[in-house]
Amino acid sequence: MSAESIVLFHVKLTDGLVATGKAIHRHGESVLPTPQSLEIAKYPDVSGYYLFYLDGNFEQLTDTFHDDLKSAFAQAEWEFGVKESEWVSPKEGQTGQQTGIE
């Protein structure tokens, strides 16, 4: 992928949104730290969506790939309890349900 990703949605993981423990992300033998925020992004030359897991400095820890936006939202809800309505579009300040992106 040569292009920059386009961030569609962002959510900060606050006290009410914590890892459920249903998934463990690793780098080699090491368990990755719990992310502080999540982003859903898209690359112009890729048909699917990426769920990026970010640390407190907004550096990427890992990601998961999803064929559609609904699957990316579902993964975040399964792992962290994030409801679609809690996501914010960084460009417009809209929640996930307000954008109408499918």
Percent of the chain with pLDDT over 90: 42
Which whole-number Å values give the CA distances from 55 to 5, 37, 82, 88, in the listed order?
17, 7, 17, 18
What's the rounded mean pLDDT across residues 79-91? Answer: 88
Q: Can you give the pTM of this predicted structure? A: 0.78
pLDDT tens for 25-75 read 656 788 777 888 999 999 989 999 999 999 889 898 889 999 999 999 999
pLDDT at 97: 42
Band of residue 87 on the pLDDT scale cut at 50, 70, 90: very high
How far is residue 69's CA from residue 6's CA, in Å, rounded to a whole number?
13
